[in-house]
Structure 1
Amino acid sequence: MRDPNEQTVAEKLRLHFNGLTRAERQLTVTLLSNYPMSGLGSISELAKAADVSGPTVVRMAQKIGFAGFSELQAALRSEVEETISNPISKQERWTRNAPDAHILNRFADAVIDNLKQTLQQLDTKSFDETVRLLTDRERAVHIVGGRITRALSDYFFTHLQVIRDDVIAIASNANTWPHYLLNMKPGDVVVVFDIRRYEHDILRFVDLARERGVLVIVFTDQWASPAAVNAEYVFNARIEAPSAWDSTVVIMFILEAMIEAMTTTTWEVTKDRMNTLETLFDRTKMFSKSS
């Protein structure tokens, strides 16, 4: 069984990218463009797709920490198994050899490690560019999540509503999604949340949004949702935890950092919106106040 804290092939590729030769970078782009399926064929098929030589494939595999291409490919196969694993198999895997430490400590250790590994690979330039995109009031922002990630999309939507106008929360019922697509304009932004087991409806929605000229931002896990292929910006967060369920703590961390960056960037406008909102809260007596 693969160590859940081990880096994925994609993470290793991104980490070593700047130290690769031009041909090896070309090969890396090919691998990541249809990850992980692009690496599951023969070495000759991959070399042909990337327009590089077979030895280049072997050298690149060795540079990122594998003995050769066959070991890299075995890692990819293991990752495919991980992405389709269900809560029952994950629970059994974590509890089979669980240490004696209290679950609070084990869970905290896993989350802290997830955060550290995610931050090591998070591109701050992409983060800043995403903030600029989401604060551009000429663009509407559409937000969609899946079965589990719906909570993340709702949280992000609630905060963006305060920061700016023209933010749309897409309903959970996929049968209504064509109505939302109808109102999307070229240059709009759609924020997508999708972690393993990736949802077919999300992928179809992103494909259709792209056809309408919409820019896509994807928050996903270390293996990356298939929807990431069509995204301008992708945020890969580690989600492994000693549980039947995946942990979305690191994704929430990135979201809250992004919310703060957006608030700071647009403070004069956001401050006015907050003041208006507080007045509305007072008039509706929504919150209790101490006497």
Structure 2
Amino acid sequence: MSGAALTISDRIQNKLDTLTRAERQLAHSILENYPASGLGPLTALAKDAGVSVPTVARMVQKLGFKGYPEFQGELREELKAKAKTPIAKHDTWAEGAPSEHMLNRFTDAVIDNIRHTLAQIDPKDFDSACAMVADTDRHLYIVGGRITHTLAEYLFLHMQVIRPRITHIQSTTNTWPHDLLDVQEGDVFVVFDMRRYENNTLKLAEMAHASGARIVLITDQWRSPVHQLAEISFSSRIVVPSAWDSAAMPLLLIETMISQVQNLNWEVTRDRTERLEEMFDQTKLFRKFT
């Protein structure tokens, strides 16, 4: 499976509107524990979804596979991709690396990631997520992991200006349980979790969900286990010709979210920005040239 190829999850999402009731039931069953859900026998998948064996066979063909074995083979490749280390990622693209300059190759991969990701995002889901993040009646928590804490911090720094009642949590520290003490039902968590998914992040999300919090997940194309708890999930394409995954698409998502939430809360944001600028002037944080 190539990084730019459609995942089975993508294929299912693209076909949802054309599926029969039984096929749609099967589709949701597959996505519930994706991609591990389809690794067992065909009869087991049919039983778990509460549909017939012919329904599974028909659905697999609708997704573009010749049969169930080919479908399972693709799922196994996706599982391998989810667990790749930086060295394995490097070896995957380096073997067949074309001769063009890295600037062009990398940019082409990022553009492809953006195109595939945006094709999978429902604008209504994005608007709903932004409305949740903008709701100042709810405390907002932003959670990142070992690498994704940089994305979480970027979102947090902007949201600090845009709205009050906000907490930045790093699941990699041993202090995050303290941050959950005051979580109330309806509070909002924006959680970042990319492959290789972190156990602390999942446990944190489970505890927040148990407290009645609403979760917005920003993950990759294979989806973090947190997606089973999330009210809204955004799956970003992240594969580029590098030993490390790309943050370009997740960053595009959060910068767009910042812009939308700012617009939704503009009166509050303008007042907070004016007061913050006064503080900057008093502290002489920035140089002035006039």
TM bin (shorter chain): over 0.9
Q: 2:208 & 2:190 partners in 1: Cα distance?
A: 11
Q: Per the alignment, in what secondary structure is the counterpart of residue 175 of structure 2?
A: helix
State TM-score, norm by structure 1: 0.98
Q: Does 1:116 align with 2:115?
A: yes
Q: 2:95 & 2:15 partners in 1: Cα distance?
A: 34
Among the aligned pairs, what percent are the same residue? 47
Aligned to 2:288: 289
Residues 23 and 56, structure 2, Cα contact 8 Å, conserved in 1: yes
The list of structure 1 runs, each at least 4 consecutive aligned residues, that deviate by more than 4 angstroms after superposition, is none
Once the two structures are TM-superposed, the CA of residue 172 in structure 1 deviates from its matched residue by 4.6
Q: 1:106 & 1:215 partners in 2: Cα distance?
A: 38
Q: Does 1:188 align with 2:187?
A: yes
Matched residues, number: 290
Cα deviation 1:123-148 (Å, max 9, x = unaligned): 10000001111111110010111111
Q: 2:58 & 2:52 partners in 1: Cα distance?
A: 10
Once the two structures are TM-superposed, the CA of residue 191 in structure 1 deviates from its matched residue by 0.8
Once the two structures are TM-superposed, the CA of residue 198 in structure 1 deviates from its matched residue by 0.6
Aligned to 2:49: 50
Q: 2:132 & 2:102 partners in 1: Cα distance?
A: 40
Aligned to 2:140: 141
Once the two structures are TM-superposed, the CA of residue 174 in structure 1 deviates from its matched residue by 3.5
Q: 2:104 & 2:81 partners in 1: Cα distance?
A: 24
Q: Per the alignment, in what secondary structure is the counterpart of residue 137 of structure 1?
A: coil
Residues 171 and 200, structure 2, Cα contact 8 Å, conserved in 1: no
AA at the equivalent of 1:211:
A
Aligned to 2:27: 28
Q: Which runs of 5+ in 2 are unaligned?
A: none
Q: 1:54 & 1:35 partners in 2: Cα distance?
A: 19
Once the two structures are TM-superposed, the CA of residue 171 in structure 1 deviates from its matched residue by 3.3
Q: Which runs of 5+ in 1 are unaligned?
A: none
Cα deviation 1:215-262 (Å, max 9, x = unaligned): 111000000000111100000010000000000100100111111111
Aligned to 1:245: 244
Residues 174 and 201, structure 1, Cα contact 8 Å, conserved in 2: no
Once the two structures are TM-superposed, the CA of residue 173 in structure 1 deviates from its matched residue by 3.9
Residues 118 and 236, structure 1, Cα contact 8 Å, conserved in 2: yes
Aligned to 2:96: 97
Q: Per the alignment, in what secondary structure is the counterpart of residue 234 of structure 2?
A: strand
Q: 1:158 & 1:44 partners in 2: Cα distance?
A: 50
Q: Superposed, which structure 2 residues align to 1:93-242 within 5 Å? A: 93-242=92-241
Q: 2:148 & 2:46 partners in 1: Cα distance?
A: 37
Aligned to 1:258: 257
